[in-house]
Amino acid sequence: MIAMKTLYLIVPLAPLAGAIVAGLFGRAIGRAGAHWVTILSVAISFAASCAIFADVSAGHGFNGTVYTWLASGGTRFEIGFLIDRLTVLMMVVVTFVSLMVHIYTVGYMADDPGYQRFFSYISLFTFSMLMLVMSNNFLQLFFGWEAVGLVSYLLIGFWYTRPSAIYASLKAFLVNRVGDFGFLLGIALILSQFGSLDYASVFSQAPGAASGMTLICLLLFVGAMGKSAQFPLHVWLPDSMEGPTPISALIHAATMVTAGIFMVARMSPLFELSQTARSVVMVIGAITALFMALVAVTQYDIKRVIAYSTLSQLGYMTVALGASAYSVGIFHLMTHAFFKAVLFLGAGSVIIALHHEQDMRRMGGLRKYMPITYLTMLIGALANAGLPPFAGFFSKDAILEAVQASHASGAGFAYAALLLGVFFGGLYSFRLVFYAFHGEPRMDAHTRAHLKESPWVVTLPLVLLAIPSVAAGWWIGPIVFGDYFGSSIVQRFHEEYHGVWSFMLQGIAAAPFWFGLAGAGLAGYLYLYRTDLPKKIALALGPIYALVNQKYGVDELNEWLFARGARLLGTGLWKGGDEAVIDGVLVNGSARVVGWVASVVRLFQSGLVYQYAFTMLIGVVLLTYFFLRT
């Protein structure tokens, strides 16, 4: 299987090569050169991923080392690949969405002076994400983890002259560092407990050490909370919308933020050993799913609505993991990657058509001007709201079924939260569609006169992503209920399954569907017919609305408690510790003491030589005695 091994290497290395060429020689190869080289390299990577997918589906696989990073104290830290069914699914999703976003960027960033740099970054991101999902050990996982975080930092701050972008990038990196703190501790704990960082070796030993597993799993999950933006570490994701829209789709919706979900699924043999950890995961996920959906209803910035929607959807995935339905979580990860990419890229299409207007209050009626964008966005919204037969319906329904079937503590709360979340999901999804695409146009006359559909490089990716947003749900049979994942993750979730149609019929008969429909219907009523009502409702709800609209004040709390606290502590230590105590009291104080001692010692300086000699003799005797007395 030499040929296959070469393919494994090509998948991550092609985008890396593209990134290096576009990044270092961007000026020499020009704008077209930069986009061609990166698009081609990602296309190669996608094709190779598909070939590997076919190969793995045929029953092959790989788990081995390609490079030894360092060996220390009997442990070897290596770079290696684990190619199984979970991995290839992620590889195909990542490279596909990445390819679409690369193509889309040609249109979206056409006028940007940092064109080549942008292509270099997104290719670098693709490389890092692939290294993360293809890893066969925790250390490489952490490397990829940090690398995607770094590229995310660079991309959020891509327009580095804007203060808001600088602040957002800094915040994203720092919040993720808090998560990393836990993640790194978890990894170190694994190493000290099992003496290895290799997945296979850790998984095989884990059942023997179940007692320490809760702590390990919780620490790993802290890392996942940072990367996958779970409450209360979610604060960075809405701000990350300061980055260009293509990366909001690629990094902050489809791929990087799902790294935490992927990681927990990958670690399913560990999480299965701790019911406590899974309950925590489920509750955190449920809180995120419901409360972020609520915030999405109150936002007017089109990208922020989608960002909060992403947070909520990530919460759904997390709940699925907590309910031991790992395959369902990954399935929702996949469908979400498609329809959320559509929503973001569609929003981007609207934003460029309106000359960088993001406020939905100045949109409206766009469906007449941008039919392709409208249709694809509609598909995305339908999928996001979880209505049949769109992809989101299948994955979301399966999650709710799994939670309903779970007996873990917290499952009841999680089910209620998710059900309510579905209602608000329907509401915010269609609020967005109706606000932006229906009703009277509310933009100024000049903008309106120039409104037109985006160029094909923008609409083609939209269409290509809309197709799986419809169709991907139909793979529920093999992926969730069949044996697609095999032994690559633990599978505990088993339900009766009689094909797509009966699943749909069952779904229509169940509560979640009606909650989602009700939300969508309410959106229609509020934003198409009684457009005066939303304001009144907001006024009537008063403080509650304000609390939600202010995102529950988490940002303010962080800023006040942690950021200010650390700064105060730093200043306190420096001014108080260094300058006042150490230099002021100790150093200058000892200088004073020396002065005082000197004045005393002066008394001994009698000028009599025999006195000096005698004193020296006593000193030498004492010293010698001291050192030799043992």
Residue 575 structure tokens: 């001014």
Kindly state whether residue 65 participates in binding another protein, applying the rule CB under 8 A. no
Kindly state whether residue 589 participates in binding another protein, applying the rule CB under 8 A. no
Query: 294: closest CA among 420, 138, 198?
Result: 420
Kindly state whether residue 626 participates in binding another protein, applying the rule CB under 8 A. yes
* Shortest separation between residue 214's beta carbon and another protein, angstroms: 16
Decide: 321 and 329 in contact? Cβ < 8 Å.
yes
Decide: 156 and 168 in contact? Cβ < 8 Å.
yes
Nearer to another protein, 47 or 185 (CB): 185
* Shortest separation between residue 39's beta carbon and another protein, angstroms: 25
Give the separation between CA 93 and CA 478, rounded to whole angstroms.
17
Nearer to another protein, 178 or 347 (CB): 178
Could you tell me where the DSSP H helices lie in 25-114? 26-57, 85-108
CA torsion 343-344-347-353 (nearest 10°) is -130
* Shortest separation between residue 155's beta carbon and another protein, angstroms: 14
Kindly state whether residue 627 participates in binding another protein, applying the rule CB under 8 A. yes
Give the x-and-dash track for 290-329 against another protein (CB under 8 A): ----------------------------------------
Phi-psi region of 386 (alpha: psi -120 to 50; beta: other; left: phi over 0): left
Decide: 145 and 47 in contact? Cβ < 8 Å.
no
Nearer to another protein, 106 or 270 (CB): 270
Residue 4 structure tokens: 């296959």
Nearer to another protein, 17 or 377 (CB): 17
In order of 34, 127, 162, 255, 347, the CA distances from 105 in angstroms are 12, 17, 20, 17, 13
Question: In degrees rounded to 5, what are phi and psi of residue 206?
Answer: -55, -45
* Shortest separation between residue 276's beta carbon and another protein, angstroms: 20
Kindly state whether residue 593 participates in binding another protein, applying the rule CB under 8 A. no
In order of 42, 87, 124, 321, the CA distances from 265 in angstroms are 26, 11, 24, 7
CA angle 549–553–554, rounded 5-degree value:
120
Give the separation between CA 296 and CA 290, rounded to whole angstroms.
10
Please select the residue that binds another protein; options are 65, 571, 605, 606, rule is CB under 8 A.
571
DSSP, collapsed to helix, strand or coil, labels residue 429 as helix
Kindly state whether residue 596 participates in binding another protein, applying the rule CB under 8 A. no
Give the separation between CA 396 and CA 431, rounded to whole angstroms.
20
Site for another protein in 385-404 (CB under 8 A): none
CA torsion 305-308-309-310 (nearest 10°) is 130
Kindly state whether residue 201 participates in binding another protein, applying the rule CB under 8 A. no
Nearer to another protein, 501 or 626 (CB): 626
Please select the residue that binds another protein; options are 2, 3, 59, 192, rule is CB under 8 A.
192
Please select the residue that binds another protein; options are 13, 92, 110, 185, rule is CB under 8 A.
185
**What sign does the dihedral 304-244-237-426 (CA atoms) show?**
positive
Kindly state whether residue 599 participates in binding another protein, applying the rule CB under 8 A. no
Kindly state whether residue 607 participates in binding another protein, applying the rule CB under 8 A. no
Query: 461: closest CA among 62, 101, 158?
Result: 101
Nearer to another protein, 211 or 532 (CB): 211
* Shortest separation between residue 517's beta carbon and another protein, angstroms: 45
Which of these ranges, 292-300, 307-315, 583-591, 604-612, lies near another protein under the rule CB under 8 A? 583-591
In order of 3, 229, 444, 505, 620, the CA distances from 262 in angstroms are 27, 13, 44, 30, 71
For another protein (CB under 8 A), the number of binding residues is: 56
Site for another protein in 550-569 (CB under 8 A): 566-567, 569
* Shortest separation between residue 174's beta carbon and another protein, angstroms: 6
Nearer to another protein, 77 or 474 (CB): 77
Site for another protein in 210-239 (CB under 8 A): none
* Shortest separation between residue 593's beta carbon and another protein, angstroms: 13
Nearer to another protein, 39 or 219 (CB): 219
Please select the residue that binds another protein; options are 32, 467, 586, 597, rule is CB under 8 A.
586
Please select the residue that binds another protein; options are 3, 58, 59, 73, rule is CB under 8 A.
73
Site for another protein in 124-183 (CB under 8 A): 142-143, 146-147, 150, 153, 157, 160-161, 163, 166-167, 169-170, 173-174, 177-178, 180-181
Nearer to another protein, 550 or 590 (CB): 590
Query: 86: closest CA among 484, 471, 475?
Result: 484
Query: 281: closest CA among 353, 329, 225, 345?
Result: 225
Which residues form the interface with another protein (CB under 8 A)? 68-75, 142-143, 146-147, 150, 153, 157, 160-161, 163, 166-167, 169-170, 173-174, 177-178, 180-181, 184-185, 188-189, 191-192, 566-567, 569-571, 573-575, 577-578, 581-583, 586-587, 623-624, 626-630
